[in-house]
Structure 1
Amino acid sequence: MERIEVVYRDGVFVPLKKVHVREGARGVVILTSGEELVEFARKHRKKVQEDALVTFLEERR
């Protein structure tokens, strides 16, 4: 199973990236709104004590 992001344009779901799918293939589209994504992010966010990017860059110096 492959996840393909699509956008709805002129009555047709169009993939956001080029995909190779045989003609007549069937799939399922699950619609999500931006609000659902924001709620998901709020539910799963973590507070961290330090900036991971700063730590990463300091380790590389």
Structure 2
Amino acid sequence: MRTLFLVLLVAGVVLLTIGAVVPELFVLSLLGMLVIAGTASVALAAAHHRGPPQAHY
């Protein structure tokens, strides 16, 4: 799962970079931002501790 997140993050950064370097491919930059945001969202959701809330004393 961690490898998949890493691959998606790298793909998003590559798309973002291509879109930033070549103005005609600006849509790739937007797609890269979408991929990075989605990857971060899924990673944060997967890292959330599941289970009943614990009282901290």
Which TM-score bucket, shorter chain as reference? under 0.3
The structure that has the greater radius of gyration is 1
State TM-score, norm by structure 2: 0.26
State TM-score, norm by structure 1: 0.25
Going by fraction, where is strand more abundant, 1 or 2?
1
